[in-house]
Chains A and B, each alone.
Chain A
Amino acid sequence: MSEPRTLLAIDHVSKNFGRVTAVDGISLDIRENEFFALLGPSGCGKTTLLRMLAGFETPTDGRILLDGRDIARTPPNKRPVNLMFQSYALFPHMSVRANVSYGLEMEHLQKAEIRSRVDAILATTELGPFADRKPEQLSGGQKQRVALARALVKRPRLLLLDEPLGALDKKLRGAMQLELKRLQHEVGITFVIVTHDQEESLVMADRMAVLKDGRLLQCDTPHAIYEHPAGRFVADFIGVMNFVPGKVSADGVIAANGVRIAGKVPATLAPGASAVASVRPERIRLFPSADAANRTTGTVEALAYQGLDLQLHVRTPLSPKPFLVRVTADAADRRPVSAGDEVELGWDAADVRIFGE
C-alpha cells in the first residue's frame, strides 16, 4: 500500500484570546479518507482548533493547508469544509428537505441536481420518511442524522464533527458510533471529530490526537496510544491505568515499600528520579504463574460485574490507590473471589510503562 496522502496540514497553529492561549503551536497532518479524532479534556483547545478549521476563528499564528493551499484566512462559506455543530443548529423554520437542500442552493446548482443529491443523502441516512418534517418533530437521533446529511450533501473535502454524539443517550451513542464509521467509509470523506470521550475516539478513530492546555501531547493510532502512551497524562486519560509511584532504578521503579517493579526505563529518566510505573488492568493476572516478573499480594475491596468481565479493586502495599484488575468472567468462574479475599497479582515486565513525574 502506498503512503496515504496528506489532506490537511496544520502547521504551527496558535490562537490567543487576549492573554489566554487556547491553542499553542500545534502541528498535525490529517490524511485523505481517515477518521481522525481530536481528544482532550474540556478547555484543551480542541474546539478552538476545530473552529479554526471551519473558518469561524482565525489563527493568531501558523498555517492551515488544505490540499497544499493555505485556508487559514478563507471565510467559512468559501472553504470546502463543513461542520456538524454540537447543537446540530438545524434551521427551525425549514423542513428536513429544506435544511439539507440549503447548502446546495448556495452553490447555485440546477433544481433537478439538488433534488437528486438530497434524495440520495436522505436515503443514505434513512431520513426519507421524515423529509417534510420540521426539526422540532424529530427525535435526538434523527436530528443528528439531519445535521450529518446537511453537511455531507455538500461533499466537502473535510467534515468536522463537534462532539457529534454528546447529546445522545448511552445506548444510542454506541449504535451511532458504528453508524458514523460505516457512513464515513461509504461516502469516502475525511472526518475530523472533536470529543472529550476517550472511549468514543478509541472505537471510531483511525488516528487520534490527544490535546491538553492547547498543546499536542501525542498523535497516533488508538492502539499505539493505548499501548505506548507518550506520558503520564495520556496514560491516565486514555483507558484505565494503575500507577505505582517510586524512584527510578537501573531496570525498573522502586516502590515506596521497597519492592521493585521491573520494566523498561526510558533513557530520559536518570536513576533516583521520581517516576511512576504503570500497568493496564487487563494485563494483570490473578494467581499468576511463577514466571511473572512483577507480583504483589493484596486484599479484594470490591467487585464490579460488567457482563463480559469482572473488575476488582485490590488494596496492595504498592500504591495508595487500590489496583484495578480486570479478569474475564470465565476466569472468575473457574476460581471465584469475593470481597475480603487475599489474592496474588502478577504481570510481565513488558507490560509496564514508566513515566517521569
Chain B
Amino acid sequence: MAPALVWLTALMVVPCALVLALAFFRRGIYGGIDYTFTLENFGLVFDPLYAGIFLKSARIAGTATLIAVVIGYAAAYAIAAAPRRWQPVFLFFAVLPFWSNYLIRTYAWIVLLNREGLITQLLRWFGYTGEPPSMLYTEGAVIAGLVYNYLPFVILACYAPLSRLNPELAEASRDLGASAATTFRRVILPLTVPGIAAGAVFVFVLSIGNFVTPALLGGGRFQMIGNLVYDQFLTANDWPFGAALAMALIAIMLLVLMAQALAADRAAGRAAEANGGADG
C-alpha cells in the first residue's frame, strides 16, 4: 500500500497540484509567470472562442466514440460467435496494431488519405479521373484516426461480456417467439451494456484530450483542446492559461469517469440488494 501511495503522490498528485497552482497566477509580460493571484485564466476558458474548441473536441470525441463502439461491438460479436479455438487468434489480430508506435500508426493514415495517396490511387485504378478527393486535414480524417487507434480497447471491452453470455439465453428468446433482432435488443444488448460503457468511456476520455492525431491528420491549424494546451505551454508561452485549460479538461474527464463509476456502482448495488433479499 505504502509504495503505491508514494508513487501516486510523486507522479500524480504533486504534478497535478503544481499545474493547478499555476492556473491561479498571471502571465508575465515576456512569457514566464507573474506570481500574483487571479481567476482570469478560468474566466478565459469560458470565452466563446475557447469554449467553442471544447465543444468541438467533445463533438469529435463523441463521434469517434459512437463509431468505435458500433464497429468494435460488431467485431467483438463476430469474434465471440467464432469457433472457440479461433477466438484467441482473432483477438490477437484485433490488438496487433498496439505493437507498433502510435505516431507510426497515425502517419500510416497520411499515406492512405494523401491527395495522391493509396485511396486516390485505388480510385484511379477503378477509372476515376476527376480531382483527387480532399480527405487528409479534415475533421473526418481526425475522427478516422481516433477510431482506428482506440478500436482495440472497445473490441476487448465488449468481447468480455459477449463471450461469457450463455448461448442458451438467445435460444430461449427465439424459442419464446422473438425474432433474431428482438433477441438482440432485449436479451443480448442489455446483458453486454457494461462492456460497451467501459469501452466508450475509454475512447471518449482518450479522444477528447488527444493532440497528436488532430495535429497530424487535422492539419496545422486544426485545434482540439489538447492542441490548445500544447500551444499555450510551448508556443504562446502562457503557462497559467494552459494550466487552466488543462484543469478544465481534467474536470470533464473526471465527470465522465465518475458518471460511469456511479452507473456501474448502481448496477452492482442492485445486484447486492438482490442477494440480500434472497437471504431474508
A interface residues, how many (CB within 8 angstroms) = 27
Interchain nearest-CB distance for A127 vs B (Å): 15
In the assembled complex, which residues on chain A have CB atoms less than 8 Å from the CB atom of B174? 55-56, 75-77
In the assembled complex, which residues on chain A have CB atoms less than 8 Å from the CB atom of B271? 136
Interchain nearest-CB distance for B242 vs A (Å): 46
Bound together, the chains give a CA A150 to CA B177 distance in angstroms of 12
Residue contact A82 to B175, C-beta cutoff 8 Å: yes
Residue contact A154 to B176, C-beta cutoff 8 Å: yes
Interface membership of B38, Cβ < 8 A: no
Interchain nearest-CB distance for A138 vs B (Å): 8
Closest chain A residue, CB of each to CB of B279: A137
**A window 192-236: CB within 8 A of B:** none
Residue contact B178 to A77, C-beta cutoff 8 Å: yes
Bound together, the chains give a CA A83 to CA B174 distance in angstroms of 10
Interface membership of B255, Cβ < 8 A: no
Bound together, the chains give a CA A54 to CA B175 distance in angstroms of 7
Q: Which of B168, B178, B278 has the most CB of A within 10 A?
A: B168
Interface membership of A102, Cβ < 8 A: yes
Bound together, the chains give a CA A85 to CA B169 distance in angstroms of 9
Given contacts A77-B175, A77-B177, contact A85 B191 (CB under 8 A): no
In the assembled complex, which residues on chain B have CB atoms less than 8 Å from the CB atom of A82? 175-176
Interchain nearest-CB distance for B189 vs A (Å): 10
Bound together, the chains give a CA A93 to CA B192 distance in angstroms of 11
Given contacts A106-B177, A154-B177, contact A89 B274 (CB under 8 A): no
**A window 48-88: CB within 8 A of B:** 54-56, 75-77, 82-83, 85, 87
Bound together, the chains give a CA A132 to CA B166 distance in angstroms of 23
Bound together, the chains give a CA A183 to CA B211 distance in angstroms of 67
**B window 168-190: CB within 8 A of A:** 168-169, 171-179, 182, 186-187, 190
Bound together, the chains give a CA A85 to CA B174 distance in angstroms of 12
Interface membership of A18, Cβ < 8 A: no
Residue contact B172 to A85, C-beta cutoff 8 Å: yes
Q: Is the interface of A mostly helix, strand, loop or mixed?
A: loop
**A window 92-132: CB within 8 A of B:** 92-93, 102-103, 106-107
Interface membership of B220, Cβ < 8 A: no
Bound together, the chains give a CA A318 to CA B70 distance in angstroms of 73
Closest chain B residue, CB of each to CB of A51: B171
In the assembled complex, which residues on chain A have CB atoms less than 8 Å from the CB atom of B179? 77
Residue contact B191 to A89, C-beta cutoff 8 Å: no
Interface membership of A283, Cβ < 8 A: no
Residue contact B168 to A85, C-beta cutoff 8 Å: yes
In the assembled complex, which residues on chain B have CB atoms less than 8 Å from the CB atom of A54? 175
In the assembled complex, which residues on chain A have CB atoms less than 8 Å from the CB atom of B182? 106
The contact of A89 among B166, B190, B277, by CB within 8 Å, is B166
Bound together, the chains give a CA A150 to CA B166 distance in angstroms of 18
Interface membership of B275, Cβ < 8 A: yes
Residue contact B168 to A87, C-beta cutoff 8 Å: yes
Interface membership of A5, Cβ < 8 A: no
In the assembled complex, which residues on chain A have CB atoms less than 8 Å from the CB atom of B166? 87, 89
Bound together, the chains give a CA A106 to CA B169 distance in angstroms of 15
**B window 150-206: CB within 8 A of A:** 166, 168-169, 171-179, 182, 186-187, 190-191
Q: Which of A54, A87, A89, A92 has the most CB of B within 10 A?
A: A89
In the assembled complex, which residues on chain A have CB atoms less than 8 Å from the CB atom of B177? 77, 103, 106-107, 154
Residue contact B176 to A136, C-beta cutoff 8 Å: no
Interchain nearest-CB distance for B97 vs A (Å): 34
The contact of A106 among B171, B178, B191, B278, by CB within 8 Å, is B178
Q: Which 9 A-B pairs have the closest CB atoms?
A: A106-B177, A103-B176, A89-B172, A89-B168, A137-B278, A76-B174, A77-B177, A77-B174, A83-B175
Residues of B participating in the A interface, judged by any CB pair closer than 8 Å:
166, 168-169, 171-179, 182, 186-187, 190-191, 271, 274-275, 277-278
Name 25 A/B residue pairs within 8 A (Cβ), A-sorted.
A55-B174, A56-B171, A76-B175, A77-B175, A82-B175, A83-B172, A83-B175, A87-B166, A87-B168, A89-B169, A89-B172, A90-B172, A91-B169, A91-B187, A92-B169, A93-B191, A102-B173, A102-B186, A133-B274, A136-B271, A136-B278, A137-B277, A138-B278, A150-B172, A150-B176
